[in-house]
Amino acid sequence: MLNIDRLPIFILATIILLLTPGPAVLYIIARSIDQGRMAGLVSVLSIEAGNFVHAVAATAGLSALLFSSATAFSVVKYLGAAYLIYLGVRKLFSHSTSLQAVHVDPQNLRQVFTQGVTVAIFNPKTALFFLAFLPQFVDQSKGQVGLQLLILGCLFVVMATISDGMYALLASSAGQWLKSRRRVWLAERYVVGLIYIGLGVTAALADSPH
């Protein structure tokens, strides 16, 4: 079903992206520092619940597109590659976000979960990311493209839950240390930017699927 040759690349790219602290990770760290471990873990579950909604939506939309036109699916794939390159270039030239700039108001755990899900679901950048990222690892020659997309999306969410959970646990125990690691936030800009560009270029230069 899945192209086994592409799966290690997907896993490696996902791991590197998840281990570099983006906006969602900064939010989780800030919540963990301010309200402790439980609030941090709840925020992880809420963010990933929202991401799962985006993964399912991307699967449904791209699958419907494939059934209507394989050519249209290929066009979306290359547009996604271009979008990943754009994200990478913008990341390289952006100013690094400081953890001190991220502020969260104290809330009970139900409010923490509701806020995290709402923020994740209504983030258009997350939707665009899934639409651009997942098709790069789909092999149309294997068939069942919708199922391939869903598996990849679920795998991404599971890995993100583990990674973000580690950040929540670490931040709740070593919050002040993380706040002072300015080099971590500076390195994140270059690592993530180059990964996006690499994924986009690789997809753009790949042979068209049969």
Rounded to an integer, what distance in angstroms lies between the CA atom of residue 144 and that of residue 123?
28
Range of the domain at 138: 7-205
DSSP code per residue over 57-123: HHHHHHHHHHHH-HHHHHHHHHHHHHHHHHHHHHHHTSPPPPGGG-------HHHHHHHHHHHHHT-
Residue 1 lies in a domain: no
Residue 74 lies in a domain: yes
Q: What is the pLDDT along the chain (210 residues), one digit of tens a residue?
A: 677 777 888 898 888 888 776 777 777 877 887 788 898 899 999 999 999 998 998 888 877 776 666 677 677 778 777 887 887 888 778 765 555 555 566 678 888 898 888 878 887 778 888 888 888 888 777 777 888 889 999 999 999 999 999 989 888 776 656 555 656 556 666 766 777 788 778 766 754 443
Residue 2 lies in a domain: no
171-178-106 Cα angle (round to 5)? 50
Residue 137 lies in a domain: yes
Residue 160 lies in a domain: yes
pLDDT of residue 33: 78
Domain total for the chain? 1
pLDDT of residue 104: 60
Contact (Cβ atoms closer than 8 angstroms) between residue 70 and residue 141: no
Residue 159 lies in a domain: yes
Residue 210 lies in a domain: no
pLDDT of residue 208: 45
